[in-house]
Amino acid sequence: MKTGLYIFMLLSFLNFSVYGQEKTKKELKAERELKKQKEIEALIDGKNFVFEAQKVTPQGGRLINLDYRTYFLKFNTENTTCDLPFFGRGYNIGYGSDGGIKFEGKPENIKIEKEKRKYTLRTTVKGKDDVYDLMFTIFFDGGASLSVNSNNRAAIFYDGEISAPKTDNKTDKK
């Protein structure tokens, strides 16, 4: 009888030690959040990321959900490319313009501030026909908002997320 009791106690202690080594859901969530934060920090430090717009709020307007995830701003220090929709007042836009915010140029005066739970990145990009002041608010979870001010249009705000740019894995075979 005593032997059975000792074996039972030994097995129960072994089970407790196995369960004691597993991580709790809270610890796993904290690890995932820390990993995502480090990924976002690397994108900001490298000044190379893609902002994908999911929602837009024009000045004086209401929130509009965007479909298909086709609207983006590819940011890097050498060349920033933007293709975002525009809803609002245009002041000096050429005839036949498609109405969106589309530009390509080198960002100038890049300023990055790190706060408690987010980054703020400000820069200016000179496009072909306009100058764009961009202000990103980037949260550690990858969520981001973008404010675009220009000389020829009313201010507009986008919500979305940032990610690493997709690389082309094409190899030239000669």
| Predicted confidence (pLDDT) per residue in 89-114, tens digit | 877 766 556 668 888 999 999 999 99
CA distances from 74 to 12, 23, 36, 163 (A): 57, 38, 20, 10
Q: Report if pTM > 0.85.
A: no
> What are the tokens at 27?
């610890």
3-state secondary structure of 15: helix
Is residue 170 over pLDDT 60?
no
Contacts within 8 Å (CB) and 24+ apart, 116-123: 119/40, 119/44, 121/44, 123/80
| Predicted pLDDT at 18 | 47
| Percent of all residues in the chain with a pLDDT value above 70, rounded to a whole number | 79
What is the longest distance spanned by two Cα atoms in the chain? 96
Q: Which residues pair with 107 in a beta bridge?
A: 125
Q: Which domains does the chain have, with CATH numbers?
A: 49-90+97-163 (2.40.128.410)
pLDDT confidence band for 9 (50 / 70 / 90): low
Is residue 10 over pLDDT 70?
no
| Predicted pLDDT at 121 | 94
| Percent of all residues in the chain with a pLDDT value above 90, rounded to a whole number | 45
115-134 pLDDT, tens per residue?
Answer: 988 999 999 999 888 899 99
Can you tell me the distance from the alpha carbon of 75 to that of 135, in angstroms, rounded to the nearest whole number? 12
